[in-house]
């Protein structure tokens, strides 16, 4: 399957690197185009991708078109490719935040198979999550083709579209908050004499292991927290300090902000 990316920003680059890392897709079967050639031509050379000079050329030569532009750019981009999308059984896969299937159909063709997905940047190391919903034009074959290719990037999770905004924030935005959490801990450890790079490694390993505990043990995070807090020990003191300083309230406000569309 030839996969064409319209838009080669942070998220598209992470997906492309994940595909290349997986070694299951020929790099030259990945086509790319974005607005400014200096932002994609060298990237294409570095990874052996096929750079094309227009969105139209990209659509003509791809089986699956990944729409990876910002929401404000969608109308202009789709206007130019709408007719080409309807030729030769193409599939549109949009990663555009908060852009509904219905709106994408209005801007393209009511017969076009369309996937709406929310990936996260962890796809770059094939440890991503990719939420997806799709319209009624998607055939069994389309579904198999998309799932078999995109699962190379991480876990594919099928959801009804009405859950995509909330689940999307949980999956798409949280890597940034996890980086903030890790950075805050490794920075304070520097105050106590560790180097930033050794702290980064330790916090990353510790948080990764803790997240594995949640997914593999199937336990509730509250129960796991209790196991770490030895009576009269340091962890409970730190945990209460987090509570007293508004940690949970800050998380609630953070999540509310992501839902404020």
Ligand X SMILES: NC(=O)C1=CN([C@@H]2O[C@H](COP(=O)(O)OP(=O)(O)OC[C@H]3O[C@@H](n4cnc5c(N)ncnc54)[C@H](OP(=O)(O)O)[C@@H]3O)[C@@H](O)[C@H]2O)C=CC1
Ligand Y SMILES: O=C(O)[C@@H]1CCC=N1
| Interface with ligand X (CB under 6 A) | 6-12, 33-36, 39, 55, 68-71, 73, 76-77, 95-97, 118-121, 172
Minimum distance between the CB of residue 163 and ligand Y, rounded to whole angstroms? 15
Smallest gap, in angstroms, from Cβ of residue 49 to ligand Y? 23
Comparison of 129 and 199: residue with beta carbon closer to ligand X: 129
Residue 241 or 257 with smaller CB distance to ligand Y: 257
DSSP 63-120: SEEEE-S-GGGHHHHHHHHHHHHTTTT-EEEE--TT--HHHHHHHS-TTS-EEEEEE-
- 73's contact among ligand Y, ligand X, none, with CB below 5 to 8 A by partner kind, is ligand X
What tokens were used for 257? 């902000």
Q: Which is nearer to ligand X, 94 or 199 (CB)?
A: 94
Q: Which of 47, 97, 99, 177 binds ligand Y (CB under 6 A)?
A: 97
Say how many Å lie between the first and final Cα of the chain, rounded. 35
CB closer to ligand Y out of 143 and 173: 173
Give residue for tokens 């202009």.
76
In angstroms, give the least distance from the CB of 123 to ligand Y.
Answer: 12
Residue 99 in the binding site for ligand Y (CB under 6 A): no
Give me the least distance between CB of 173 and ligand Y, in Å please: 5
Element (H, E) at 38: none
CB under 5 to 8 A by kind: which of ligand X, ligand Y, none does 200 bind? none
Which residues 125-184 are close enough to bind ligand Y by CB under 6 A?
172-173
Decide which of ligand X, ligand Y, none touches 76; Cβ closer than 5 to 8 Å per partner kind.
ligand X
Least distance (Å) from ligand Y to the CB of residue 179?
Answer: 12
Instruction: Tokens 């789709």: give the residue.
Output: 78
How would you class 244 by CB atoms within 10 Å of its CB: exposed for 0-12, middle for 13-18, buried for 19 or more? Answer: exposed
3-state secondary structure of 181: helix
Beta carbon nearer to ligand X, 64 or 95:
95
Sign of CA dihedral 207, 186, 258, 136: negative
Helix, strand, coil shares of the chain, percent, nearest 5, are 60, 15, 25
Interface residue list for ligand Y (CB under 6 A): 97, 172-173
């Amino acid at each position: 399957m030839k996969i064409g990316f319209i838009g080669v920003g942070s998220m598209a680059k992470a997906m492309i690197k994940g595909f290349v890392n997986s070694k299951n897709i020929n790099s030259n079967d990945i086509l790319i185009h974005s607005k400014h050639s200096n932002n994609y031509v060298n990237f294409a050379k570095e990874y052996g991708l096929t750079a094309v000079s227009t969105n139209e050329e990209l659509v003509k030569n791809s089986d699956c078109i990944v729409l990876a532009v910002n929401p404000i750019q969608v109308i202009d981009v789709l206007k130019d490719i709408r007719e080409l999308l309807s030729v030769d059984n193409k599939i549109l896969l949009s990663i555009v935040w908060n852009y509904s299937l219905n709106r994408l159909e209005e801007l393209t063709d009511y017969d076009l198979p369309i996937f709406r997905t929310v990936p996260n940047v962890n796809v770059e190391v094939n440890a991503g999550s990719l939420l997806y919903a799709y319209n009624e034009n998607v055939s069994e074959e389309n579904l198999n083709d998309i799932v078999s290719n995109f699962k190379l990037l991480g876990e594919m999770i099928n959801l009804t579209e009405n859950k995509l905004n909330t689940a999307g924030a949980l999956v798409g935005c949280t890597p940034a908050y996890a980086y903030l959490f890790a950075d805050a801990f490794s920075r304070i450890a520097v105050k106590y004499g560790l180097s930033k790079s050794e702290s980064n490694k330790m916090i990353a390993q510790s948080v990764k292991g803790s997240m594995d505990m949640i997914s593999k043990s199937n336990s509730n995070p509250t129960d796991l927290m209790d196991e770490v807090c030895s009576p009269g020990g340091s962890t409970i003191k730190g945990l209460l300090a987090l509570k007293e300083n508004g940690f949970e309230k800050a998380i609630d406000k953070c999540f509310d902000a992501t839902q404020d569309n």
